[in-house]
């Protein structure tokens, strides 16, 4: 019996050929493929944005915070439900994350909770488009304008997601993507940042490579600190082969997600994910009330694994980790995020899955959800 992982990259001959050509060229670090990948992403997103490639989505988030002069003494509002990198990068630049709870169905930031959390040290809001489900940014833009705040979008899970009539990434805000192997397209490891601010883009270009700035004659200056965050041409070549397939990948994910919604059992202990227009279905995360079933998540996952199904956990609530408990956070602070973190289960979802694979997962779930 084939074991179904919760994610699997879709790679073929085009990706293999693209990487082989870069290796044969002799130029494998940042170079012409990275520049081509950045242009292709900018064209895909539209809106006149400029795109900068990074070695990870995490690096892109960190660079965005630095480029917006966010540091010690500042606070950044982040959702308590996300991958821990969303908060870690805030600590990395010396600022503090200000957690807020999320909507229990969308798992995205609750705008009312954001409004209540804004204080004198708040400098930025970092919304996450959770699992590829688009967040309505309009209330956050209103809050940002009223309080002179920056919005930095964590779109690590949302390449290909659409908000209304435009892709996530075309808002003009700094918007950060990830191309990790479990994302909708991959560069192995890698990320990107889209922005409509040319001054910010120039500074980001320095920050991602040692703070170096070159003039037209090749002269080098280092006006500020910078990291080592650049993407390789090998990774960019893979991205260039993947990007034209992105919309097809998402269409297939959506078809599979719809089939999940049709086939999963209706059970009071099971909560299926919210669907909205523009969702790119990076993950299919259900919530299971394990206590109601008189079981535990590890036991439930072992039972699925015995049936050849490998589920994931996306994610524990960030404020419950030891790192953030040291800042005074603990159980009860953000009940929606905590409930999601305790009950979440990520079911297999990737473009090469079949309807039969979905039905197999749903049959296993039905076996484990007693009538």
Q: Could you list the active site residues?
A: 183
d(CA 173, CA 129): 14
Three-state DSSP at 51 gives strand
CA atoms within 13 A on the CB side of 210: 6
> What is the spatial distance between Cα 159 and Cα 156, in angstroms, rounded to a whole number?
7
Six-digit token pair at 361?
Answer: 């997962």
Contact between 194 and 51 under an 8 Å Cβ cutoff? The reply is yes
> In a 3-state reduction of DSSP, which class is residue 29?
coil
Nearest by Cα to 282 from 193, 347, 355: 347
79 contacts 109 by C-beta, under 8 angstroms: yes
Q: At what angle do helices 246-263 and 355-368 cross, to 10 degrees?
A: 40
């Amino acid at each position: 019996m084939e074991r179904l992982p919760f994610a699997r990259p879709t790679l073929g001959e085009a990706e293999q050929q693209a990487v082989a050509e870069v290796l044969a060229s002799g130029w494998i670090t940042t170079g012409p493929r990275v520049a081509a990948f950045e242009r292709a992403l900018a064209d895909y997103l539209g809106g006149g944005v400029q795109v900068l490639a990074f070695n990870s989505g995490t690096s892109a988030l960190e660079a965005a915070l630095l480029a917006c002069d966010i540091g010690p003494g500042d606070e950044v509002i982040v959702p308590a439900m996300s991958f821990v990198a969303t908060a870690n990068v805030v600590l990395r630049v010396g600022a503090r994350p200000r957690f807020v709870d999320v909507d229990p169905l969308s798992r995205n930031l609750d705008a009312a909770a954001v409004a209540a959390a804004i204080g004198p040290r708040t400098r930025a809001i970092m919304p996450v488009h959770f699992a590829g489900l688009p967040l309505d940014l309009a209330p956050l833009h209103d809050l940002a304008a009223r309080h002179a705040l920056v919005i930095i979008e964590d779109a690590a899970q949302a390449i290909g997601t659409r908000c209304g009539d435009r892709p996530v990434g075309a808002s003009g805000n700094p918007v950060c993507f990830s191309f990790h192997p479990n994302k909708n397209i991959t560069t192995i490891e890698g990320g990107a940042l889209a922005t409509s601010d040319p001054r910010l883009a120039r500074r980001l270009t320095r920050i991602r490579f040692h703070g170096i700035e070159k003039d037209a004659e090749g002269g080098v200056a280092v006006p500020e600190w910078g990291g080592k965050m650049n993407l390789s041409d090998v990774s960019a070549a893979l991205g260039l082969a993947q990007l034209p397939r992105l919309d097809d990948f998402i269409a297939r994910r959506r078809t599979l997600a719809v089939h999940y919604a049709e086939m999963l059992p209706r059970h009071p202990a099971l909560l299926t994910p919210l669907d909205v227009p523009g969702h790119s279905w990076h993950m299919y995360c259900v919530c299971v009330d394990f206590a109601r079933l008189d079981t535990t998540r590890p036991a439930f996952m072992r039972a699925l694994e015995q049936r050849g199904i490998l589920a994931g956990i996306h994610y524990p609530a960030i404020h419950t980790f030891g790192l953030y408990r040291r800042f005074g956070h603990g159980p009860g602070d953000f009940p929606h995020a905590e409930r999601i973190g305790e009950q979440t289960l990520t079911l297999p979802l990737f473009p090469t899955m079949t309807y039969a694979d979905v039905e197999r997962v749903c049959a296993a779930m039905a076996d484990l959800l007693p009538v």
